[in-house]
Chain A
Amino acid sequence: MSLFYFVAFVAIFFALMTIFTKNPVHSVLYLVVTFFTLTVHYILLNAQFLAVVNFIVYMGAIMVLFLFVLMLLNLNGDTEPMKSNLVKVIGVIAGMCLFATLLGAFRVIEPSNEIVTGNTDIGLVKHLGNVLFNEFLLPFEISAILLLIAMIGAVLLAKKEVKEIKKA
């Protein structure tokens, strides 16, 4: 339990650092650390598959991509746009409202709740596969369509139009 509290503290700390730091590159690096702490959480929950996927895909692939894009854009602390105070105040009020609502919703959670604890082995690859190919077969198959769409879109948007080359 004490390990959980330590990791949770680190996660919240680095999540806050992600927002408060001025330099975008540092911000992304803090986000990577936050994701790493989340991976530790998944391991604590015995969700090994999720932990590995989170580690490889989010921390490895997506965050590095983020970092590359940021470096290409050449952003730094000076180019950060100034936001008016009114927007900041409204943002704080709205954020606090959301926070209060969620806090109210979460106050009932007890660790002994059977839904919360559940089956502790469910995160193993073997059980996950069983669920995916039985109960959740249809969403799993439809995800293939989703990936196909994303692929078509990436190619379509990245490819040059033939007509324009002729014109030029």
Chain B
Amino acid sequence: MGAIITLCILGMVVLYLGLFKAKNALLPVTLLGLVVTLGFLVAGWNSEALPQFHGMVIFDRLALSFSILCVVITGLVILLSKEYFKNISTYLSEYFCLIIFSLTGALLVNAYHNFAMLFIGIEVMSVALYILVGIRKTDLASNEAALKYFLMGAFSTGFLLFGITLLYGASGTFDLTELQAYVQTSSEISPLFYGGVLLLLCGLCFKVGAAPFHFWTPDVYDGAPILITSFMSTVVKVASFVGFLRLFSTVLVPLHDFWTPVLLTIIIITLFVGNITALLQSSFKRMMAYSSISHAGYMLFAIVSVGATSASGMLVYATAYSLASVIAFGMLILVKRSTGSENFESFNGLAKKQPLLAFILTVAMLSLAGIPLTAGFMGKFMMFNNVMGIYNITLLILAVINAAIGVYYYLHVVVNMYFRKPEEEVTEQHVPTSYKVVLVIAAVLTLIIGVYPDSILLFFFP
């Protein structure tokens, strides 16, 4: 709980810093606040997890581990953003403040224990993002993305609320423990409950961007400023997945005969739509948007095979995916700044000019594709292992086919960097130190988790 209070206060402090024009203090104060938040999260590690505030939130291992991941990723994004946002908007403090509040929402979604908190958390997280997506006011694509995201988000929240209402109508409670008791003990589950589960599933699939509810994702990810896209596709997506997982693993396990076929259909559609459309893209940013849809499909594996190991599998997968996304989007910013384009061709010949950066991007792409020795491989391995546990061979074969398709378009960038010559000579360009630091940290973490995955697993789930 200390973490959430810290973040709320931090957001307001940052706003005041903006009021007093203390531009240079923004970054240190924000980072300090994030470190304090991290401290609170780590300090709560060994204490017994009980629902707090009349059962509103619970900071158990699941919530704490994913919250730590969210805070770290936000820290990396914020390190990148000062350089980036100078060119977009003069309102740097408001931008920092909104990101921090969005992170607060993500933490609440990670730790909810009552549907009221789930709803408020999702709203806090998304409303801040609606604004951030449209922060580039003169850019039509950004405006369109913001409007689309807002309309779709409001629409999906409607589904979510309707689902929650129906569950309440059946069981008379918003509390997860009481809902669990209802599902386990009641002699006959009311049809209202089933309807509620379906609507909740729709609402949550909208939030994580799984097909067939994915139509907003490519346009929004494409139109938003690159760093906001990286924040959206990592922190927000991970938090939505934790909300998903917590609901299904605590309450809905006894009903799995009912929702497994629905979820399986969603997963298969998501994998194919994401991967095949990503194959056809010529813009790197749009390719990342579609690839994030396909990764949502892989992460849903943890929910369809929900059990004791699904949380750890999802943690490794989410960590790998988030780190690789941060690297990819960070590199895209650098490349776009020097060539002015987001297409694959703008990566041509990068290996000669910036060998280190090209190597880091290669690591990220291999991790996204799931090649051994990178974190992405461990993530995919654990997810597939979970699915093996429920003996669903068809799903596994389809997933492997999709992973193979994924390798092709991820390696497209790598081939362009190493084996293509740039069309025109671009002058050597200075890379800011903060970018180098963030990219190297993310790449090293990716490799460490890939080579020695126990480092993260033993730490989080001993």
Which A residues form the contact surface with B (CB < 8 A)? 101-102, 104-109, 115-116, 118, 134-139, 142-143, 145-146, 148-150, 152-153, 156-157, 159, 161-164
Q: Is the CB of B54 within 8 A of A145?
A: no
Chain B residues with CB under 8 A of A134: 54
Chain A min CB distance to B397 (Å): 30
- Complex CA gap A19/B123 in Å reads 28
- Give the residue among A109, A139, A153, A156 with the most B Cβ atoms within 10 A: A139
Q: List 19 interface pairs A-B (beta carbons < 8 Å), by A numbering.
A: A105-B192, A116-B169, A137-B53, A138-B54, A138-B57, A142-B121, A142-B124, A145-B11, A146-B120, A149-B101, A152-B98, A153-B127, A156-B91, A156-B94, A156-B131, A161-B89, A161-B90, A162-B90, A164-B138
Q: Give the residue of A105, A115, A135, A145 whose beta carbon is less than 8 angstroms from that of B194.
A: A105
Tally of contacts, chain A with chain B, CB under 8 A: 93
Q: Give the residue of B98, B138, B169 whose beta carbon is less than 8 angstroms from that of A149.
A: B98
Chain B min CB distance to A31 (Å): 16
Q: Is the CB of A105 within 8 A of B8?
A: no
- Complex CA gap A149/B128 in Å reads 6
Q: Is the CB of B98 within 8 A of A153?
A: yes
- Complex CA gap A109/B191 in Å reads 10
Q: Tell me whether B333 is interfacial, beta carbon within 8 Å.
A: no
Q: Is the CB of B192 within 8 A of A109?
A: yes
- Complex CA gap A138/B5 in Å reads 11
Q: Is the CB of B137 within 8 A of A161?
A: yes
With A105-B166, A108-B192 as given contacts, are A157 and B137 in contact (CB-CB < 8 Å)? yes
- Complex CA gap A104/B56 in Å reads 31
Chain B residues with CB under 8 A of A107: 191
- Complex CA gap A58/B108 in Å reads 28
Q: Give the residue of B56, B130, B170, B195 whose beta carbon is less than 8 angstroms from that of A153.
A: B130
Chain A min CB distance to B33 (Å): 15
Q: Is the CB of A115 within 8 A of B124?
A: no
Chain B min CB distance to A166 (Å): 11
Chain B min CB distance to A113 (Å): 9
Closest to B115 in A: A139
- Complex CA gap A138/B8 in Å reads 13
Chain B min CB distance to A133 (Å): 11
- Complex CA gap A107/B194 in Å reads 12
Q: Is the CB of B54 within 8 A of A152?
A: no
Closest to A160 in B: B137
Q: Is the CB of A105 within 8 A of B131?
A: no
- Complex CA gap A118/B169 in Å reads 11
Q: Is the CB of A149 within 8 A of B124?
A: yes
Q: Is the CB of B8 within 8 A of A145?
A: yes
Q: Give the residue of B15, B57, B124, B172 whose beta carbon is less than 8 angstroms from that of A152.
A: B15
With A139-B56, A149-B128, A161-B89 as given contacts, are A108 and B191 in contact (CB-CB < 8 Å)? yes
- Complex CA gap A157/B150 in Å reads 14
Chain B residues with CB under 8 A of A145: 8, 11, 101, 104, 124
- Give the residue among B11, B171, B192 with the most A Cβ atoms within 10 A: B192
Chain A residues with CB under 8 A of B304: none
Chain A min CB distance to B114 (Å): 8
Q: Is the CB of A101 within 8 A of B198?
A: yes
Given A116-B169, A139-B56, A153-B130; 6 other pairs, CB 8 A cutoff: A101-B195, A108-B191, A138-B53, A146-B120, A156-B94, A156-B131
Closest to A159 in B: B91
- Complex CA gap A153/B89 in Å reads 14
Chain B residues with CB under 8 A of A108: 190-192
Q: Is the CB of B120 within 8 A of A152?
A: no
- Complex CA gap A115/B117 in Å reads 22
Closest to B91 in A: A156
Chain A residues with CB under 8 A of B121: 142
Q: Is the CB of B131 within 8 A of A152?
A: yes
Chain B residues with CB under 8 A of A109: 169, 192
Chain A residues with CB under 8 A of B12: 148
Chain A residues with CB under 8 A of B116: 136, 139
Q: Is the CB of A115 within 8 A of B172?
A: yes
Q: Is the CB of B169 within 8 A of A138?
A: no
- Complex CA gap A149/B94 in Å reads 10
Chain A residues with CB under 8 A of B171: 115
- Complex CA gap A148/B274 in Å reads 36
Chain B residues with CB under 8 A of A162: 90
Q: Give the residue of A106, A150, A152, A159 whose beta carbon is less than 8 angstroms from that of B192.
A: A106
Q: Give the residue of A106, A149, A163 whose beta carbon is less than 8 angstroms from that of B127.
A: A149
**Shortest beta-carbon contacts, A-B, top 9:** A105-B195, A153-B131, A115-B172, A138-B53, A138-B56, A139-B116, A135-B54, A139-B120, A105-B191
- Complex CA gap A136/B57 in Å reads 11
Q: Tell me whether B208 is interfacial, beta carbon within 8 Å.
A: no
Chain B residues with CB under 8 A of A161: 89-90, 137-138
Closest to B127 in A: A149
Q: Is the CB of A137 within 8 A of B94?
A: no
Chain A residues with CB under 8 A of B331: none
- Complex CA gap A106/B90 in Å reads 52
- Complex CA gap A93/B415 in Å reads 46
Chain B min CB distance to A38 (Å): 15
Q: What sequence of 0s and 1s flags, for each residue 1-43 of chain B, a beta carbon within 8 Å of any chain A beta carbon?
A: 0000000100110010000000000000000000000000000
